[in-house]
Amino acid sequence: MTKKITIAIDGFSSTGKSTIAKQLAKELSYIYVDTGAMYRAVTLYAMQHNYISENHFNSEGLVADLPNISLSFTFNEKLGFAEMFLNGINVEKEIRSIEVSKLVSKVAEVSEIRKKLVREQQEMGKNKGIVMDGRDIGTVVFPNAELKLFMTASADKRATRRYKELLDRGDKVNYEEILHNVQERDRIDSTRKDSPLIIADDAIEFDNSDMGLKEQFERIMSLVNLKVQ
C-alpha cells in the first residue's frame, strides 16, 4: 500500500505551478490547494474595501479587518478542481484579473496576512495527501514535505503564457504590461523580508521554459512514485 505524502510546489508566477499541481492531485486523488488564490482573494477584498489601489495601501486597516475575511475552497466536479470562495462568494474569476495580479505581491508582503494564511494552509495539510503550490510552501508552510519542487522559466515565456491565458478568457490585455507585471512580482516576491521566494535546500528545480506539460508531468510523477513506495 502506498503512503500519503505532502507535495510542495513553489516557484515564480506563471510557471504553471497550479496546472501541474492539479494534474498531480487528480492522478493521486490528493487534495489540491492553490495558496496563490488565497492571497489573491485577500487582495480582492482589500480592493473592494478601498484598502489598496495602485497609488495607496492601507495595510494597517486591512490587517485590522482580517477577522472579517473568510476563505474556503469548494470542489467543482465539472471543472475538476476547487474554486476560491471569499466570505461565501465564488471569486475564482475575479481573482485572476490583471488588476489583482498587479497588487497581490504587495498584500503578500504583510507579515500578519502571511501568518493567518500559513496557519490555515498547515491545517489543511495536517493529514498529508495534499499538493500545495505557492511561494513559501517548501520553506515555511511544509518544511518537512516529502517532495519539494521549484518551478521556473524565463520571464518572456511566462509573460507569453499569461498573455495567452488572459486573451483566451476574453480579457483585453497588453503584452508589455503583462511582462512588466511578471518582472515586478518576481522582484517583490524575491526581496520581501517575510518568507521571500527562495529555493529550499532539498527542492528539485524545474525550468520548464522549453518543456511541454506531458513531459513535465511524467518526470514529476516518476519522482512522486519514488516517495510513495
Tens-digit pLDDT profile for residues 120-136: 999 999 999 999 999 99
Residue 42's pLDDT is what?
Answer: 98
- Assess if residue 154 is contained within a domain: yes
Residue 1's pLDDT is what?
Answer: 52
Tell me the percentage of the chain whose pLDDT exceeds 70: 100
Tell whether the model's pLDDT for residue 104 goes beyond 80.
yes
- Assess if residue 1 is contained within a domain: no
Q: What's the mean pLDDT when you consider all of the chain?
A: 92
Scored b (16 or more CB within 10 A) or e, 150-189 reads bbbbebebbbbbbbeebeeeeeebeeeebbebbbebbebb
Q: What is the pLDDT of residues 55-67, one digit of tens each?
A: 999 999 999 999 9
Q: CA–CA separation, 14 vs 156, rounded Å?
A: 10
- Assess if residue 20 is contained within a domain: yes
Who wins on pLDDT, 103 or 14? 103
Determine how many CB atoms are found less than 10 A away from the CB of residue 122: 13
Range of the domain at 92: 6-228
pLDDT band at 75 (very low <50, low <70, confident <90, very high): confident
> In the predicted model, what is the mean pLDDT of residues 109-116?
95
pLDDT band at 81 (very low <50, low <70, confident <90, very high): confident
Q: CA–CA separation, 53 vs 43, rounded Å?
A: 10
* C-beta of residue 167 within 8 angstroms of C-beta of residue 173: yes
> In the predicted model, what is the mean pLDDT of residues 76-88?
87
Q: Domain of 187: which CATH number?
A: 3.40.50.300
Residue 229's pLDDT is what?
Answer: 79
Q: CA–CA separation, 85 vs 89, rounded Å?
A: 5
Q: CA–CA separation, 136 vs 199, rounded Å?
A: 9
Q: Please give the tally of structural domains in the chain.
A: 1
Q: CA–CA separation, 204 vs 223, rounded Å?
A: 10
Tell whether the model's pLDDT for residue 49 goes beyond 90.
yes
- Assess if residue 224 is contained within a domain: yes
- Assess if residue 201 is contained within a domain: yes
Tell whether the model's pLDDT for residue 26 goes beyond 60.
yes
Q: CA–CA separation, 213 vs 19, rounded Å?
A: 9
